[in-house]
Amino acid sequence: MARQPDIRKAYHFELAQLGDQILTMGSMVDKALERSMDALARRDVDQARQVVADDSFINAKRMGIEDGAVILLATQQPMASDLRFITSVEHIATDLERMGDHARSISRLSVKLCAEPPMRSVNEFPRMVASCRQRLRLALDAFIERDADKALACARQDSELDQLQDDVYDLMLSTMEKDGSTIVRATYLLWIAHNLERVGDHITNVCERVIYLAKGRREELDEE
Amino acid sequence: MKIDLHVVVGALISVTWFVGQWFLSAVGRAPGADPLPMAMSDPAWALLTGSVGLALGAFGAFVVYRTDQGRQAAAREAFAVSARQLRQSVRYAVEATSPDLMYSDAPASALVASRLPEEAEPLAEALVDVALTLETHRESVARERVRVRQTLASIAEGLIISSEEGRVAAVNPEAARLLDLPGDGSSLVGQSLVTAVRDYEVTETLIKAIETRGPVTRHVRLSPFSTMGEPSMARRATSVRLVKVSAVPFASQGRLPSDVGVGSSRRTSGVGAGVIFLEDETELRRSESIRRDFVANVSHELRTPLASLKALVETLEEGALDDPPAAREFLRLMHVEVDSLTQLVFELLELSQIESGQAEMEKRPVAPITLLETAYRRLRTQATRAGIDLRLAAEHALPMISADPMRVGQVLLNLLQNAIKFTPEGGVVTLTASRDGGGIRFGVTDTGIGISREDLTRLFERFFKVDQSRASGGTGLGLAIAKHLVQAHGGVIGAYSLGEGHGSTVWFVLPQSGEGAALVNQKAQVASQTRGALASGDDGDGTPSIAVPGVPATPATP
């Protein structure tokens, strides 16, 4: 295959393009996550609003990827691993879009939080975002390399996010108990933690897709 | 040849002999013929001699046959060898042009000039000529490549070249640094640009440039993963890079698969040939914002006393002059404002002098305890008046330090005044001095209002005030001046606090007097001076810096 003249050059080019599109979308989501958290930390309303507005680009990207996938399916009759690749691309694009939505939600909450008096910073948030970004990168690496082991390793890291979310939950509960005036703010922060945890779940979904892509069989990873 | 002839002759003789014997024996048996001697007519004899002849002939024929075959085989072999060598020579010659073998050590001519059969000599010579020419070209191309690589590496800007197919053709180390790519980025050559770079804003700049067929520039904020998890916002912020990304498309000669699109002319991504420049503007932007803040702060600090002066003058003009007691009070207030203006201008001048290294330090060996006692004596009354217990706790027999006693005294006074200002009545302020590595650590610890984590990171910035209102007075320059004075002495300064309401400590370490003292931390000092107010002795997290001047432990000069 490697040395043979590629008689379906355009087809293979388009397949590679689909992969590139997923990486591009991944980068958009990564930046949205990073910026939403940065806006929250610096109480930067403008940046938070920008993240909310930029989500439409992520959604548009997903549509573009879906169209590309459908056209390939319709015109090239892909088989076996190519077929799995194209269907996986569609699913991963959906998961990425949902992650973008969570970044948007975080930014919306940031805008609301900026109207409230400042509260002590939550050290778990930078760690949660770092975990999300690192895992997203790892999952997309696994996707490009079709590496099931990498995807599995990435999926297993989800427990860290769950743990951090629980920590935020405890912290916020005790804050609210101590000082009733913090209830509104603490609730917003709880939602932010929840959104980050959901991002982690979508990354796990991507990992499942990658394993399906690499091995041709589905593995449910949520149990662990 | 000789053998062949003998054998053939031998075989002929044998055959003749056999036929003759057979004939004779046949005649001998015929009726009426003279009986031949028994031996001659015996068919067994005839058979024997005939067989010998036949065997000899067959052997001869076999030898002839073998020799002929051997020669053919030898010729075939020789032909194969020469063909192989020729093929090899050609391959070497071709490989010499191939960039993959650019860095193979064996010169092509040596390989081509390996043993060749005579027949191939003219061809070989021609090949050697070709190979030599190729080798010259190869060397010059290799030199050129090294030169290009060195040039790329020495460019201060990050640079990525993308090929027609949207693959990385070249990437320099600065680009790898800015984009957080593995190593110096050279391992990414040949990969798809999108896969390698993983930053859509960077790749999109190139796509835009290709679409518009002209240069495109945008400013991108890059945030690496490595420091994302840092709980300290200050440290996280320093890892964020503000990068100017410019892309220039190369003139295209028709794009790869666009003509054979899959039923749709829609292009999913337009990465093509072009070059991306990445310029790190982080420091530039930071110093810009520091300058902007500085100007804003100075104007604010100047405007406030000026506004109250103006108000006081206007009140006097509008009739207060005729009321002598009120006028005197207004004059007193004006005095206060003028004093604070004078103080501000004085401190600004001093800060800029120390920062630019113009302020002269009259360094000489000083006993730390002398410095502490002077400061203690000067502020004891003020502390007592504020209801604060001022204490002095210094280690015994501390070595001398090399310092300008006036300037260090000024730092100590400044720290003490701050401590007294931010400590409520009944509190304790302790002045300490102790050995620390190769230097002396001075500290001012109070039981006052403490400093929050966020404030600790900004404590040594110009115009930074923990109390943003003007209630506590002060210009906000004191600690910035203290920082620069300590740095001018080759020392470090820092602060820590156990949190709001739990007091705080500001400390600084000065090198002992001795030969090494002057060399201390010069590098760090220069670096922090160029970075302006962002550099402070603390590590941005409030925990005391462990950067202690690396002074060789020399005995104190008396």
pLDDT score of B401: 87
Question: Which CATH fold would you assign to the domain B287-355?
Answer: Helix Hairpins (1.10.287)
CA distance A208 to B474: 61
From the list A14, A18, A20, which residue is nearest B195 (CB)?
A20
pLDDT tens digit string along B329-349?
A: 888 888 888 988 888 888 888
User: Is the Cβ of A38 closer than 8 Å to some Cβ of chain B?
Assistant: yes
Q: Which fold has domain A9-215?
A: Methane Monooxygenase Hydroxylase; Chain G, domain 1 (1.20.58)
pLDDT at B271 over 90: no
Q: Which percentage of chain A shows pLDDT scores above 70? A: 95
| Contact list, A14 vs chain B (CB under 8 Å) | 257, 262, 268
- pLDDT at B548 (0 to 100): 32
DSSP state of B532: G
Nearest residue on chain B to A69, alpha-carbon basis: B268
Residues of B in contact with A42 (CB under 8 A): 233
Band of the pLDDT at B354, cuts 50, 70, 90? confident
Q: Using 50, 70 and 90 to split pLDDT, how confident is the model at B487?
A: confident
Residue A25: pLDDT band with limits 50, 70, 90 = very high
Domain positions in chain B: 1-154, 156-251+270-280, 287-355, 364-534
* Residue B525 confidence (pLDDT): 40
Please name the residue of chain A whose CA is at the shortest distance from the CA of residue B226: A130
Q: How far apart are CA B242 and CA B521, in angstroms?
A: 29
Residue A60 banded pLDDT, cuts 50, 70, 90 = very high
Would the CB atoms of B262 and A19 count as touching at under 8 Å? no
Q: Give me the pLDDT at residue B86, please.
A: 65
Taking the CA of residue B197 and the nearest CA in chain A, the distance in Å comes to 10
What's the CATH fold of domain B156-251+270-280?
Answer: Beta-Lactamase (3.30.450)
Q: What is the pLDDT of residue B117?
A: 57
Give the residue-averaged pLDDT of A49-78: 91
A76 CB neighbours in chain B (<8 A) are: 262
- Asked whether the beta carbons of residue B257 and residue A10 sit closer than 8 angstroms, the reply is yes
B311 compared with B185, residue with greater pLDDT = B311
What pLDDT shows up at residue B295? 82
- The pLDDT value given to residue A32: 94
CA distance A14 to chain B (A): 8
DSSP B38-68: HHHH-HHHHHHHHHHHHHHHHHHHHHHHHHH
CA–CA dist B293, B240 (Å, integer): 20
What mean pLDDT do residues B375-404 have?
87
Burial of B237 (C-beta count, 10 Å sphere; 0-12/13-18/19+): middle
Instruction: State the smallest CA–CA distance between residue B227 and chain A in angstroms.
Output: 8
Most A CBs within 10 Å: which of B162, B204, B223, as the mutation test of the A interface?
B223
The pLDDT of B279-289, averaged and rounded, is 85
Task: Give the three-class secondary structure for A124.
Answer: helix
Chain B residue whose CA is closest to A16: B192
B224 has pLDDT over 90: no
Domain B364-534 has CATH 3.30.565.10: yes
Q: What is the pLDDT of residue A136?
A: 93
The residue that leads in pLDDT, B86 or B130, is B130
Q: Is A127 in contact with A164 (CB distance < 8 Å)?
A: yes
Q: What is the C-alpha to C-alpha distance for residues B503 and B445, in angstroms, rounded to an integer?
A: 7
Q: What is the rounded CA–CA span in Å between residue A34 and residue A37? A: 5
Best probe of the A interface among B188, B268, B269, by most A CBs < 10 A, is B268
Comparing CB atoms, the residue among A24, A64, A127 nearest residue B200 is A24
Residue of B nearest to A145 (CA): B195
Per-chain mean pLDDT for chain A: 88
Kindly report which listed range (B55-59, B181-185, B271-275) carries the lowest average pLDDT score. B55-59
List CB contacts (< 8 A) between B257 and chain A.
9-10, 13-14
The minimal CB distance from B260 to the residues A9, A42, A134 is found for: A9
B52 pLDDT tier (thresholds 50, 70, 90): confident
Q: Could you tell me what percent of chain B has a pLDDT over 70? A: 68
- Residue from B164, B194, B201, B206 to probe the interface with A (highest A Cβ count within 10 Å): B194
pLDDT in the model for residue A208 = 92
Out of A136-150, B131-145, B218-232, B478-492, pick the least confident: B218-232
Residue B546 has pLDDT above 50, yes or no: no
Q: How far apart are CA B441 and CA B491, in angstroms?
A: 10
Residue A219 in contact with partner chain B when CB distance is under 8 A: no
pLDDT, tens only, B133-144? 888 888 899 999
* Distance set, CA B349 to CA B336, B353, B357, B411, B459 (Å): 20, 6, 12, 16, 20
Q: How far, in Å, CA of A55 to CA of A12, rounded?
A: 30
- Which member of A11, A42, A144 has the closest CB to residue B262? A11
**CA B61, CA B359: separation in Å to the nearest integer?**
115
Rounded to the nearest angstrom, the minimum Cα separation between B201 and chain A is 8
Q: What is the ipTM of this complex?
A: 0.85
Mean pLDDT along residues B370-394: 88
Domain ranges of chain A: 9-215
pLDDT at B164 over 70: yes
Instruction: Examine the pLDDT at B145 and tell me if it is beyond 50.
Output: yes
DSSP H or E stretch at residue B222: strand B216-222
According to the model, what pLDDT value does residue B529 have? 37
pLDDT in tens, A93-121: 999 999 999 999 999 999 998 888 877 77
Distances (CA, A) of B437 to B31, B288, B370, B403, B440: 141, 37, 21, 17, 8
Burial B369-401 (b: 16+ CB within 10 A, else e): bebbebbbeebeeebeebebebeeebeeebbbb
- Average model confidence (pLDDT) across chain B: 74
Residue B454 amino acid letter: E
